[in-house]
Structure 1
Amino acid sequence: MTIQIHALLALLLVSELTGPALAQTSLSQSLPIAARVALSGQVIELEVARTEQQQQIGLMGRQNLPANRGMVFLFDSPRFTRFWMGYCFIPLDMIFIRKGRIVEFAQSAQPCPTGENCPQYPPKGVLADQVLELKAGQVQALKLKINDPISFKFFSAEAPLPLSQQRDPGLK
């Protein structure tokens, strides 16, 4: 909810200063590839959304996302989490993770390009310390299941892990 409110406030501020069309295109980012994950034998390169600002923007404004790319959101500790698809243009699969295991999915979450009346995923929320966003259809294509282990390899000094996750032996 906090991420949604901050993103909406950022959009409103940009809208007031520059007009609505620029506001929508201004809320996009391209972070460096700073991690990877192997799922069902497929290696996926990941952007890492670590800061609050990076997490607020996420994959907003993207026109496409290859099957071998995604974004992982890191939280310092598990938190009650719901994501929304405001100002997104492509459907996504969301994988909610806690302590290195998949705890919930939101498959083929539909874009909400206007940012108005956007649903939240999962609707009731879930306790998670990481969220992985992939191209829609990847959860099914990779045959992922609840409670599957998931481990990321982080390799960029630009996106260090939160301290609470640096000591986790499941992460390499």
Structure 2
Amino acid sequence: MRGMALMMALLFSGCLAALPDKGSLPVEQACLMAGERAVPITVEIARSSDERSRGLMERESLAADAGMLFVYGDQRRAHHGFWMYRTLIPLDIAYMDSNGVIGSIRQMEPCPADQGRDCPNYPAGVPFYLALEMNQGFFERRDIGVGDRLSLDASDCR
């Protein structure tokens, strides 16, 4: 009987391992175009409302050239913004139009509050369709600013 229980446990765990991870997002190679320069990055793509709401919450680190791209089906207004509830790492966020052109960049700090309503909001200041979160200081260190753009075409990253 003990052997049968062990076999069933192993079989069941194998089935669970075959299931896709519901927490994983699509990952794409992209680049930020700054004049003639292309800065390669890796982005997780958050398209659904649930994916965007979760964002980078509870992550303890983010690779140096990695980030999360938030994609909206319709334009967000300039007063719409992000907050850092349950986000542990300081981030920069670039708000972009439908062509990936950066309209504004904000620095965001982790919020230790117990409730989201107690966290500051970081409004875009411009209408946007896309928002890219990277480690704080990323855009400044790479000399990327307003008017530069994101390309999801990996061939642009030459």
Q: TM-score, normalised by structure 1?
A: 0.65
Provide the residue aligned with 1:70 in structure 2: 67
Larger Rg: 2
Match of 2:120 in 1: 119
1:149 CA drift (Å):
2.6
Q: Check whether the contact 1:85–1:111 (CA below 8 A) recurs between aligned residues.
A: yes
Structure 2 residues not aligned, in runs of 5+: 1-22
The letter for the 2-side match of 1:53 is D
SS at match of 1:55: helix
Map 1:3-14 to 2 at 5 A: none
Count of aligned positions: 125
Please state how far the C-alpha of 1:113 moved relative to its aligned partner. Answer: 3.4
Cα deviation 1:17-53 (Å, max 9, x = unaligned): xxxxxxxxxxxx4424134224543311110000000
Partner of 2:46: 49
Q: Is 2:30 the partner of 1:33?
A: no
TM-score, normalised with respect to structure 2: 0.71
Matches within 5 A, 1:1-172: 29-39=23-33, 40-80=37-77, 81-100=80-99, 101-107=101-107, 109-116=108-115, 117-122=118-123, 125-153=125-153
Structure 1 residue runs without a partner (length 5+): 1-28, 155-172
Q: Give the 3-state SS of the residue equivalent to 2:140 in structure 1.
A: helix
Greater RCO, 1 or 2 (C-alpha within 8 Å, sep 6+):
2
8 Å contact from structure 1 (residues 37, 46) kept in 2: no
Root mean square deviation of aligned Cα: 2.1
Counterpart amino acid of residue 97 in structure 1: M
* Residue identity in the other structure for 1:74: V
Pair 1:115–1:153, CA change in 2 (3 A): farther
Letter in 2 for 1:93: D
Which deviates further from its counterpart, 35-44 or 124-133?
35-44
- Give the residue type in structure 1 aligned to 2:30: R
Q: Residue 88 of structure 1 aligns to a residue in which SS?
A: coil
Provide the identity percentage: 32
Question: What is the DSSP-based 3-state SS (H/G/I as helix, E as strand, rest coil) of the residue aligned with 1:114?
Answer: coil
Q: Deviations over 1:99-155 (max 9, x none)?
A: 321111112x10013354211113x7431000000011101011112122322238x
